Amino acid sequence: MTAAAQLASTLGWLALVAYALSAVLYTTSLFRTAAWIGRSATAFAVLGAVCNFGTLYARSLALHTVPYRDLLGSMKLFGFFLAVLNIALEFRHRDRSLGPFLMPAALVFLLLAVVQTTPVHKDAPELKGPIFALHVTLNMLAYAAFAVACALSLLYVVVGRSLKKHAFTGPASRLPSLSYLERANRTSLSLGILSLTVGVLLGLFWASRMWRGEHPLWALDPKIWFALATLAFYVFVLVRAHRGAAPVSTARLSIAGFVLVLLSYTAVNLLVSKLHDFTS
Amino acid sequence: MNLLFVGWDHRAAPLDLRERLAFTPEKARAALDGLFQEHILSEGAIVSTCNRAEIYGMSDREDGLDALAGFFSRFHRVDDALLRRTALSGHGDATVRHLFRVAAGLDSMVLGEAQILGQIREAHRLATAAGTVRTVTNRLFMSALECGKRVRAETALGQKPTSVAGLALLLAGRIFESLRDRKVLLIGAGETAELTARLLADDGVSEILVANRSHENGEALAAAVRGRAVRWEDRARAAAAVDLVLSATNATEPVLTAGALRTALHGAPRRGPLLVLDLAVPRDVEPEVGELSDVYRYDLDSLEEMAAVNSRARAGEVPHAEAIVEESVRKFQEWWGGLLQGDVVRGLREKLESIRRAELEKHSSRLAALDPSARAAVERLTETLVAHILHDPTVGLKEGDGSERLERAAAVRALFHLDETQK
């Protein structure tokens, strides 16, 4: 193992520990109001994100290409984006209620990536270059934004139910207001749609330039059609929300949309797609 | 000299009596003037709210409490026996503790309510303007305000609303990030609707619509709160277009039905949730309205349930608040003990010095026969005697905590008749 690969591994484990502590502390902060718990959760999330970035950077040095061209690398990137979006929303709105949802998700993705030791095919010159890097980065950012939208929507449903049941105490009473959750959900959906649109277009451009007719069936790859269907679904949800649909229905559709994302990321990639199976 | 208080509050005095005992600023000024003219108090201030009328002050009289009660009976022309039967009173530490508990909201009808702090501040301001606040009452009121602020900052006693208006704002806070730029519909134009509308207007809502069966009354309320009247028949459509509906009519049948609101919501696309507060008895809004998607309906029953939950939460904070009150009382005792101790030592020294001078004066003819150096030696001898006699009491008065120093100071005052000497 090279020094860079060793560094990537060490930083990966450090990020994992920080994410785990952060997830536990964020969840505890839902039930306990002591200020140090929330502050420590944030501190560990920031430390974890820094280590996560470090592991991605060290991995790119080891591979001499983008560090997320395979499934494990992309999972590290996904975990990184989840942590970063959580921190950004927390600082923007001075609210920690997304942490108990996003940090455990970031932890799971990073854990799967860190514990796996599948070697990466180093000789893959086609999986290089800024367009490919942007294609993967933007798509992973879109997935993370849809994950945030899903978390916000789950919170919306939880807060809405507690208000309907006239539940005045407990963790739900400390969650943010419905209007904030609804607005933040639309912002996350917009970010996800924009990232996915540009990411897919860059992917199509990169593929058409890469194969120049040598691989005429690339455009028929099920992953592409699934990604376009996911994009169309989210556009429909956002347009519907802007046209005045009940926020709770937007929340439910956002949760359903993330199921599509997870399917696209796992089952479609690994079982159906030939060009997005992370081994090509 | 004694620190004392007499008062009538919501626990002991019925509302009609409290109404008769209430002080307007003018009445409070007149009462303070009267108490000074009759030499009942040497300093004092009056706290008057809808739940209490209390006077705090310093009195030189042994019968200070009796004299105060008698004065109020004459001042308000209320039966003396009734006043004495319903009065709360105390002196010394009891006075300090009572005012601090009042300032903390521990003695309020709604536990922890914050309005009392403003009322105590106003009482202090009024008495200062009248010139009746001096060293002790000034310190007493400033310490009470500090204690009240600490209780609100360090406990959750005042953070859980229990009033209808406070609960309405709390619910609005769980649904909306802010009431600024929100639209409100008032159904009904009675007192409740008007009071809540004014509260909401203060919170920065962007538009207030008023729907009332009598359109003229609705227009009058709309004009008073700078809102807009809508026709009674359009109330469901108006409800679908706003963020918050507040209904408080005297109607015996529901004035907002689930069917009408559902139809209106279908025709009026909206982006956010709708909060419906039904403050009427019998209820104005059908319970089924709460089952509509993104509509959150609360009636007086649910608000009372919420108030009970908050009251329990507030009650859990009482021990913490009481501990802050006790700490504040201790600080005041220490200050007052120091004050009295200084006063007593000075009084004692003056008394012994006057005795020394009187004795020297009495024997002046004999002393005149002595040569100057012998006269000076006698003078020094008497001075040394006084200094030695004063030494132990002076040290003893500085020892112990505030209460002990107060007790010792009181004993020295009584044994040496210092009060008579100082008069």
Can you give the pLDDT at residue B419? Answer: 62
> What are the chain B neighbours of A173 within 8 Å (beta carbons)?
174
Instruction: Give the right CATH number for B2-157 from 1.10.1040.10, 3.30.70.980, 3.30.460.30, 3.40.50.2000.
Output: 3.30.460.30
Identify whether the C-beta of residue B245 lies closer than 8 Å to the C-beta of residue B187.
yes
- Sequence-distant (6+) residues with CB within 8 A of B343 are B409
Closest Cα in chain A to B174? A177
Which amino acid type is present at position B53? A
CA angle B335, B338, B340 (to 5 degrees): 110
pLDDT per residue as tens digits for the range A188-201: 999 999 999 999 99
Mean pLDDT computed over A221-231: 85
- Sequence-distant (6+) residues with CB within 8 A of B91 are B2, B3, B4, B5, B64, B65
Mean pLDDT computed over A225-234: 91
**d(C-alpha A107, C-alpha B174), whole Å:** 30
Mean pLDDT computed over A97-120: 81
Residue in B174, B293, B313 closest to A163 by CB: B174
At the fourth CATH level, which superfamily is domain B164-309?
NAD(P)-binding Rossmann-like Domain (3.40.50.720)
> What are the chain B neighbours of A170 within 8 Å (beta carbons)?
none
**d(C-alpha B23, C-alpha A84), whole Å:** 61
Token pair of B279 as six digits = 């403050």
If one counts every other C-beta atom within 10 angstroms of the C-beta of residue B165, the result is 15
pLDDT per residue as tens digits for the range B296-354: 999 888 888 888 888 788 888 899 999 999 999 999 988 777 666 667 888 889 899 99
**d(C-alpha B423, C-alpha B416), whole Å:** 13
If one counts every other C-beta atom within 10 angstroms of the C-beta of residue A224, the result is 19
Distance from CA of A241 to the nearest CA of B (A): 7
> What are the chain A neighbours of B313 within 8 Å (beta carbons)?
169
Can you give the pLDDT at residue B152? Answer: 86
CA distances from A220 to A223, A227, A274, A278, B370 (A): 8, 12, 10, 17, 133
Q: Label residue B2 exposed, middle or buried (CB < 10 Å: 0-12, 13-18, 19+).
A: middle
CA angle B359, B361, B366 (to 5 degrees): 95
If one counts every other C-beta atom within 10 angstroms of the C-beta of residue B55, the result is 26
Identify whether the C-beta of residue B63 lies closer than 8 Å to the C-beta of residue B81.
no
Mean pLDDT computed over B88-108: 92
Chain B interface test: which of A153, A156, A162, A168 (most B C-beta within 10 Å)? A168
pLDDT per residue as tens digits for the range B188-232: 988 777 777 777 777 778 889 999 999 999 999 888 888 899 999
Identify whether the C-beta of residue B286 lies closer than 8 Å to the C-beta of residue B254.
yes
Identify whether the C-beta of residue A234 lies closer than 8 Å to the C-beta of residue A253.
no
> What are the chain A neighbours of B174 within 8 Å (beta carbons)?
159, 163, 173, 177-178
Question: Order of strands, edge to edge, in the sheet holding B228-230?
Answer: B228-230, B207-211, B183-187, B244-247, B274-278, B295-299
Contact A169 B309 (CB under 8 A): yes
Residue with tokens 């200094």: B387
> What are the chain A neighbours of B171 within 8 Å (beta carbons)?
163
Contact A177 B176 (CB under 8 A): yes
Distance from CA of A21 to the nearest CA of B (A): 29
Mean pLDDT computed over B53-69: 88
> What are the chain A neighbours of B306 within 8 Å (beta carbons)?
166, 168
Contact A169 B173 (CB under 8 A): no
Closest Cα in chain B to A176? B174
**d(C-alpha B116, C-alpha A85), whole Å:** 45
Whether residue B422 is predicted with pLDDT greater than 60 in this model: the reply is: no
Closest Cα in chain B to A238? B271
Higher pLDDT, A34 or B375: B375
**Whether the complex's predicted ipTM surpasses the cut of 0.85:** no
Contact B269 A245 (CB under 8 A): yes
Residues of chain A whose C-beta is under 8 A from some C-beta in B?
A: 159-160, 163-164, 166, 168-169, 173, 176-180, 182-183, 241-249
Residue in B173, B174, B269 closest to A244 by CB: B269
- Name the DSSP class of A60: H
Closest Cα in chain B to A179? B176
Whether residue A106 is predicted with pLDDT greater than 60 in this model: the reply is: yes
B245 pLDDT band (50/70/90 cuts)?
A: very high
Residue in A179, A243, A244 closest to B176 by CB: A179
Q: Label residue A55 exposed, middle or buried (CB < 10 Å: 0-12, 13-18, 19+).
A: buried
Whether residue B412 is predicted with pLDDT greater than 90 in this model: the reply is: no
**d(C-alpha B223, C-alpha B422), whole Å:** 65
A107-111, A124-128, B109-113, B314-318: segment of lowest average pLDDT: A124-128
Identify whether the C-beta of residue A186 lies closer than 8 Å to the C-beta of residue A241.
yes
Residue in A163, A169, A246 closest to B296 by CB: A163
Residue with tokens 């039966």: B79
Contact A241 B296 (CB under 8 A): no
A157 pLDDT band (50/70/90 cuts)?
A: very high
- Name the DSSP class of A182: H
Mean pLDDT computed over B130-140: 87
CA distances from A9 to A16, A82, A137 (A): 11, 20, 21
DSSP-based helix, strand, coil % in chain B, nearest 5: 60, 15, 25
Closest Cα in chain A to B295? A164
Which amino acid type is present at position A59? R
Whether residue B404 is predicted with pLDDT greater than 70 in this model: the reply is: no
Distance from CA of A163 to the nearest CA of B (A): 7
**d(C-alpha A125, C-alpha B41), whole Å:** 97
Contact B273 A245 (CB under 8 A): no
State the DSSP string of B160-194. S--SHHHHHHHHHHHH-S-STT-EEEEE--SHHHH
Higher pLDDT, A117 or B69: B69
Whether residue A170 is predicted with pLDDT greater than 80 in this model: the reply is: no
Contact B177 A180 (CB under 8 A): yes
Contact A243 B269 (CB under 8 A): yes
Contact A179 B269 (CB under 8 A): no
Distance from CA of A31 to the nearest CA of B (A): 16
Closest Cα in chain B to A163? B296
Is B50 a known active-site residue? yes
B285 pLDDT band (50/70/90 cuts)?
A: very high
**d(C-alpha A158, C-alpha A248), whole Å:** 10
Which amino acid type is present at position B317? E
Can you give the pLDDT at residue B423? Answer: 44
Q: Give the 3-state DSSP-derived string for B220-246, with helices as H, strands as E and coil as C.
A: HHHHHCCCEEECHHHHHHHHHHCCEEE
**d(C-alpha B256, C-alpha B283), whole Å:** 10
Contact A168 B309 (CB under 8 A): yes
Residue with tokens 């820094």: A50
Identify whether the C-beta of residue A105 lies closer than 8 Å to the C-beta of residue A80.
no
Catalytic residue among B33, B39, B50, B173: B50
| Domain B2-157 matches domain B164-309 at the CATH topology level | no
State the DSSP string of B91-148. ETHHHHHHHHHHHHTTTSSSTT-SHHHHHHHHHHHHHHHHT---HHHHHHHHHHHHHH
CA distances from B347 to B218, B353, B394 (A): 71, 10, 11
Backbone angles phi, psi at B208, to 5 degrees: -115, 120
A243 pLDDT band (50/70/90 cuts)?
A: confident
Can you give the pLDDT at residue B409? Answer: 78
Identify whether the C-beta of residue B238 lies closer than 8 Å to the C-beta of residue B209.
yes
> What are the chain A neighbours of B310 within 8 Å (beta carbons)?
168
